[in-house]
Amino acid sequence: MIDRIHDSEEQAQMQKLIKMVTLSLTLTLVTGCSYLGVYKRDLVQGNLVTQEAVSQLQPGMSRSQVKEIMGSPLLEAPFDDDEWDYLFRLDKAYGGVDKRRVTLSFENNRLADMSMSGDFDEALDFTAQPGMGPDNMPETDSAPLRPGNAPTVGTPIE
């Protein structure tokens, strides 16, 4: 008789364990289905290369004039300092990839040749997706400074 009581207690405990495991798995699966996604942001790498900047370059310009327009080159050929590369890559968070490359060649420290690759006709869009990102967070007293609420020079911070 004692064995029957012991067996029925084991069965009751086993049934409770099965119910708990089933409930846990069900809750895990249900919460996995309600995943809303994470905020992604665009990843910008390299020099911003625009058609406007490239169109200002003229053959015969000095290296310093080119740097004023384009900025410092991302790559300088290690064995040939007469070639500068400006690379730009925009990995869009919810889209494709934009790549642009400008290679400048110099002779006697003057711009001699230029080659371009990538889509320079397409305007670059750096705006966030609507409803996404930190601009849609509620304002708090400890919000970071943004253009418009940043103190001006000489203005004490409260």
CATH number of the domain bearing residue 95 = 3.30.1450.10
pLDDT at 142: 52
Q: Is residue 100 part of a domain?
A: yes
Q: What is the mean pLDDT of residues 28-48?
A: 76
Q: Is residue 125 part of a domain?
A: no
Whether the CB-CB separation of 49 and 97 falls below 8 Å is answered with: no
Q: Is residue 136 part of a domain?
A: no
**Run of H or E residues at 7:** helix 2-33
Per the structure, the complete domain to which residue 84 belongs is given by 43-119
Q: Is residue 92 part of a domain?
A: yes
Q: What are phi and psi of 10, to 5 degrees?
A: -65, -40
Q: Is residue 24 part of a domain?
A: no
Q: Is residue 15 part of a domain?
A: no
pLDDT at 156: 52
Mean pLDDT over the full length of the chain = 78
Whole-number Å distance between alpha carbons of 59 and 7: 94
Q: Is residue 61 part of a domain?
A: yes
Q: Is the pLDDT of residue 99 over 60?
A: yes
Q: What are phi and psi of 55, to 5 degrees?
A: -70, -15
Q: How many structural domains compose the chain?
A: 1
Q: Please give the C-alpha separations between residue 154 and each of 22, 142, 146, 149, 151, in angstroms, as whole numbers.
A: 64, 21, 17, 14, 8
Q: Is residue 16 part of a domain?
A: no
pLDDT at 98: 87
pLDDT digits (tens, 9 = 90+) for 59-95: 999 999 999 999 988 877 777 788 999 998 988 887 8
Q: What is the DSSP letter of 99?
A: E
Q: What is the mean pLDDT of residues 30-59?
A: 81
pLDDT digits (tens, 9 = 90+) for 110-145: 999 999 988 777 666 656 556 555 555 555 555 555
